[in-house]
Amino acid sequence: MPEKQPRPEWNLSERDTIILQELARDPQLTSRRLRDLLDEEYDIDVSHVTVNESIRRMREDGVFREALVPNEEHLFFSLFEFQFNPEGFEENWRDALEHIRSSRHTFMYFLSDGDYQWKTIMMFKDREQESKWIHEFYKEYGELITNLRNSVVTNVLKFGTDPELFEVFQEDATTSDRRHRSPNQSNSPNRVTASSSSVGGSSNASRAIVRRWTSSAPSTMRNCRTFSWKRAIGRS
């Protein structure tokens, strides 16, 4: 099985965190508009060149990823879950993994615990195309798979990153800073903290975050249509 990658250690500044939050709200923001927001909303004075450099560095460091995702009205999403047959798994799993990962239909591919350890989110134009992909996969790797479950996503109720999620970076930075600070040291009076713990404080950043924070959650949700493709299906 693929080795679990170590968690990267990102050293993000308060400015970096705010840039991520604003891009999460509107990915189309230009570096000049971000510069203006930093100045107007957070009292942070930087050039648009500096903003561009921050975005470039975070992108190269893997802090965030960019993807073009079709609307579900044009392509539908399916959650695939793969259960393995232990016999022959060690010899064949790499080819199967690469087959799934390199497929044009694979939007997200991840590992999890439990009986169904490989999971993917796939995109297809119709059910016929989805069935064909499953059929071809079983023809090639049927001996490796005990069962394949797939659930069709019928309603996308939320898709995106909430801007306030990025506050965790500043929370981690604050915790680390406290851990390494001597008892006689204190926070700089000029430091602005854009973390959830600063809400209600006196910083401009915390006030701006409170002003712009919104939350909503649907009260009902339709069940996904679920299909189970047994190992015997698709063998031809």
More confident residue, 3 or 31: 31
More confident residue, 121 or 65: 121
**pTM of the predicted structure, to 2 decimals:** 0.60
* DSSP state string for the chain: -PPPPPPP-----HHHHHHHHHHHH-TT--HHHHHHHHHHHH-----HHHHHHHHHHHHHTTS--------TTTSEEEEEEEEE-STTHHHHHHHHHHHHHH-TTEEEEEE-SSSEEEEEEEEESSHHHHHHHHHHHHHHHGGGEEEEEEEE-------S--GGGGHHHHHHHHHHHHHHS-TT----TT----SGGGTTSS-HHHHHHHHH------S--PPPEEEEEETTTT--
Condensed to tens digits (0 to 9), the pLDDT of residues 191-235 reads 333 333 333 333 333 333 223 322 333 333 333 333 333 333 333
Condensed to tens digits (0 to 9), the pLDDT of residues 139-148 reads 999 989 999 9
Condensed to tens digits (0 to 9), the pLDDT of residues 38-83 reads 999 999 999 999 999 999 999 998 888 887 877 767 888 999 999 9
99: pLDDT strictly greater than 70: yes
95: pLDDT strictly greater than 70: yes
Q: What pLDDT shows up at residue 227?
A: 36
Q: What pLDDT shows up at residue 158?
A: 86
Q: For the domain 76-157, what is the CATH code?
A: 3.30.70.920
